């Protein structure tokens, strides 16, 4: 029995080492992605919870293991607004590199508490869950030790590589947990049933998700829809295989994941765009490194301009969040759905290009590490 357990331990250890090798990134690439990550959140995906104060108390039904269960109802309005302001401040700290590690941990704790109230309606949104783990994982990297105003203290490279590998495992587990039910229900070899249409009809007729290619879904042959069911289920459960195979196959899986999400947006108008902030550590960070290396002089000249713009944007967001004014472009929740879908369309197309570029330059990326 002891020999068997030793074998299992050695087997898992070798597997994790392969995952670390497939996902590791140097500090400078992580630092560049930290800036990109904070900027995108600050500009487009800014978290907000102040809208919760307008929800009827009758809808308040938190999960059993939730911080929200410590209260009888939603929190006072000033606490939600304070959380919104604090989130903007922490995102600015991440973007500028001011104690970035502390800011990442702060965002993780902030989301852990306030998403408990966000999820107190009996539903957890898939598009934001992975982002919470990304905050935590980033806190165990050296992304704040370079290109930062107030630099973090360095941690061991092994700890950083383990953290990035764990995020990759979280991504694979997320896909696997979504794909396993599809595998058991959608692969039924029955053309009279369709898992895809099970999602499509409520979204199209009840939620009015009728943009892009959604009106043309009924023209797709049933056989093609059945194949789409099988391909989606098999793809979602296969992430661990691609991850264990190596860096190039992992990049390939994430690129296909971006195509998969783009298809969801085009056919179902379902939004998973926040997930790209987790995928981007592997897909976008290397591309940012090559871009910065090529345009180093230009970026140095415009550095002060970007800093001023981000500080001004953060102050403007704080002004809106502490007043009764509502700004359409000042947080993700309030943007018009049509505009949001077109922005997300552009983001996924850009992400697919980044994936293609990363695959094309994968050997160069390896050499740069």
Helix (H, G, I), strand (E, B) or coil at 134: helix
Please say if the pLDDT value at position 206 is more than 60: yes
The mean-pLDDT minimum among 121-135, 188-202, 206-220, 282-296 falls in 121-135
Q: How confident is the model at residue 330 (pLDDT cuts 50, 70, 90)?
A: low
Asked if pLDDT for residue 366 goes beyond 70, the answer is no
The secondary structure of residue 278, as a DSSP letter, is: H
Least confident piece of the model among 170-174, 298-302, 307-311:
298-302
- The model's confidence at residue 278, banded by pLDDT at 50, 70 and 90, is very high
pLDDT number for residue 327? 47
Quote the pLDDT of residue 123: 66
Alpha-carbon torsion, ordered 42, 44, 46, 49, to 10 deg: 160
* Residues in contact with 160: Cβ distance below 8 Å, sequence separation at least 6, in sequence order: 24, 27, 30, 140, 141, 142
Distance (Å, whole) CA 130 – CA 348: 17
CA distances to 276, 277, 352 from 34, in Å: 14, 10, 20
**Binning pLDDT at 50, 70 and 90, where does residue 324 land?**
low
Average pLDDT in the chain: 88
CA proximity to 362, closest of 217, 201, 221, 247: 247
DSSP characters over 312-349: HHHHHHHHHHTSS---TTSSGGGS-HHHHHHHHHHHHH
Q: What is the mean pLDDT of residues 8-23?
A: 85
Query: Does residue 136 contact residue 78 with C-beta atoms inside 8 Å?
Result: no
> How far is Cα 353 from Cα 343, in angstroms, rounded to an integer?
16
Q: Any residues with CB less than 8 A from the CB of 74 and at least 6 apart, and which?
A: 52, 53, 55, 57, 60, 117, 120
Whether the per-residue pLDDT at 365 is higher than 50: the answer is no
Residue range 248-266, pLDDT digits in tens: 999 999 999 999 999 999 9
- Closest of 106, 12, 7, 87 to residue 47, by C-alpha: 87
pTM, full prediction: 0.92
Q: Look at residue 367 and tell me whether its pLDDT is greater than 50.
A: no
For the cut 50, the answer to whether the pLDDT of residue 152 exceeds it is yes
Instruction: Kindly indicate the confidence band of residue 325, based on its pLDDT and cuts at 50, 70 and 90.
Output: low
């Amino acid at each position: 029995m002891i020999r068997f357990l030793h074998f299992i331990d050695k087997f898992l250890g070798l597997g994790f080492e392969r995952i670390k090798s497939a996902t590791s990134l140097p500090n400078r690439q992580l630092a560049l992605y930290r800036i990109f990550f904070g900027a995108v959140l600050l500009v487009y995906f800014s978290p907000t919870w102040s809208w919760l104060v307008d929800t009827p108390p009758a809808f308040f039904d938190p999960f059993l293991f939730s911080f929200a269960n410590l209260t009888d109802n939603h929190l006072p309005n000033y606490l939600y607004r304070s959380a919104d302001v604090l989130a903007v401040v922490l995102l600015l700290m991440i973007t500028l590199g001011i104690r970035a590690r502390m800011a990442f941990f702060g965002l993780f704790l902030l989301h852990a508490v306030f998403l408990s109230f966000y999820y107190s309606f009996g539903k957890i949104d898939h598009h934001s869950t992975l982002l919470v783990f990304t905050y935590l994982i980033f806190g165990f990297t050296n992304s704040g030790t370079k290109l930062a105003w107030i630099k973090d203290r360095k941690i061991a490279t092994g700890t950083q590589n383990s953290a990035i590998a764990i995020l990759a495992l979280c991504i694979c587990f997320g896909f696997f947990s979504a794909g396993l039910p599809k595998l058991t229900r959608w692969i039924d070899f029955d053309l009279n049933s369709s898992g895809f249409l099970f999602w499509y009809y409520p979204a199209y007729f009840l939620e009015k998700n009728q943009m892009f290619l959604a009106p043309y879904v009924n023209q797709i042959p049933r056989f093609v829809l059945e194949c789409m069911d099988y391909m989606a289920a098999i793809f979602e459960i296969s992430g661990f295989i691609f991850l264990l195979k190596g860096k190039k196959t992992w990049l390939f899986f994430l690129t296909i994941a971006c195509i998969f999400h783009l298809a969801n947006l085009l056919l179902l108008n379902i939004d998973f765009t926040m997930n790209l902030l987790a995928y981007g550590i592997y897909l976008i960070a290397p591309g940012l490194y090559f871009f910065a290396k090529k345009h180093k002089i230009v970026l140095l000249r415009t550095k002060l301009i970007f800093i001023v713009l981000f500080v001004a944007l953060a102050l403007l967001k704080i002004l809106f969040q502490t007043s009764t004014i509502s700004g359409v472009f000042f947080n993700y929740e309030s943007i018009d759905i049509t505009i949001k879908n077109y922005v997300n369309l552009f983001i996924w197309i850009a992400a697919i290009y980044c994936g293609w570029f990363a695959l094309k330059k994968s050997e160069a990326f390896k050499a740069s590490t």
